Amino acid sequence: MEVEVRRYRSVFISDIHLGTRGCQAELLLDFIRHMECDTLYLVGDIIDGWKLKSGWYWPQAHNDVVQKILRMARKGVKVIYVPGNHDEVVRDFIGVHFGGVVVARDAIHETADGRRFLVTHGDEFDGVVQHARWLALVGDYAYRALLLTNTLFNRVRRRLGFGYWSLSAFLKAKVKNALQFVENYEEAVAEEARRRGVDGVICGHIHKAEMREIDGITYINDGDWVESCTALAENPDGSLEILEWAKLRSWSVIDRTLSSEFDLLEIAETESVAA
């Protein structure tokens, strides 16, 4: 399916998790090839430093993502990198320019229609990450095990001729505690936007794309590139929309088959965590 190049004023992507096997790098590359923008915001967890510490995984597609972004910066796109908790080491370089990419703790983005948005990854508003890091690490391992199940599940769906469907997102939506966590997180981030005196907030972190009003504050989460493959785009008139690329694009054109080596490595890793 041919898709024409789309032109946006700004694009926001987060939670790519380069360095993990769950990263949908090929779909992200496909998205980058089919869009142009003046400003690109990298809203945290671009590289998964937590996972890379426990084992190196960096295929060519992940390197291609980095090269594409750097090429965009060289061609005049304003690229702003707001680190998250998985790439928190980059926070040591706030204010530094890397090949045209500016690192910032957070940012204020003004849309073409005059609205002001706080741009932040959002992990500072996650009590588990801030006050129980060990629990966050355990949750990260469990989440990657869930992503493996999700990937295997969708491989079967693809072979049967069905489209992409996020099993992990479905399970999270059905768990009461997860729903309460998401609601508390969204309200906390919206409250910070209110405190900053802006019209809304654009964030990531919880891998749940969303756009809604919370007591007069526009809350927007741009989602992720391991489950939903979503991005937030600002059109030339300032209107904002969440792009679900896996649904907009026929993902069957991306040949992302799983090798037996991939299966064995992930299963072994999951079993070692369970032990």
Q: Please write the tens of the pLDDT for every residue from 17-29.
A: 999 988 999 999 9
pLDDT at 273: 36
Pick from 155, 174, 176, 175: nearest CA to 165: 155
Residues in a beta bridge with 79:
40, 101
- pTM of the predicted protein model: 0.76
pLDDT on residue 54: 85
Distance (Å) of CA 174 to CA 21, 178, 205, 264:
25, 8, 19, 29
All domains in the chain, ordered by first residue: 7-274 (3.60.21.10)
pLDDT tens digit string along 70-114?
A: 999 999 999 999 999 999 999 999 999 988 999 999 999 999 999
Residue 130 has pLDDT above 50, yes or no: no
Token pair, residue 28, equals: 């992200």
Mean pLDDT, all residues of the chain? 81
Which strands sit side by side in the sheet containing 210-214, from one edge to the other?
107-110, 116-119, 200-203, 217-221, 210-214
Q: Which helix (H) or strand (E) holds 110?
A: strand 107-110
CA dist., res. 251 & res. 249, Å (int): 6
CB of 219 closer than 8 Å to CB of 122:
no
> What is the predicted pLDDT for the residue at 255?
43
pLDDT recorded at residue 228? 87
Give the integer Cα–Cα distance in Å for 74 and 185: 36
How far, CA to CA in Å, does 165 sit from each of 116, 139, 141, 227, 245? 34, 22, 22, 9, 12
Q: Give the per-residue pLDDT at 181.
A: 56
Nearest Cα to Cα of residue 273 among 124, 126, 147: 147
The confidence score (pLDDT) of residue 251 equals: 59
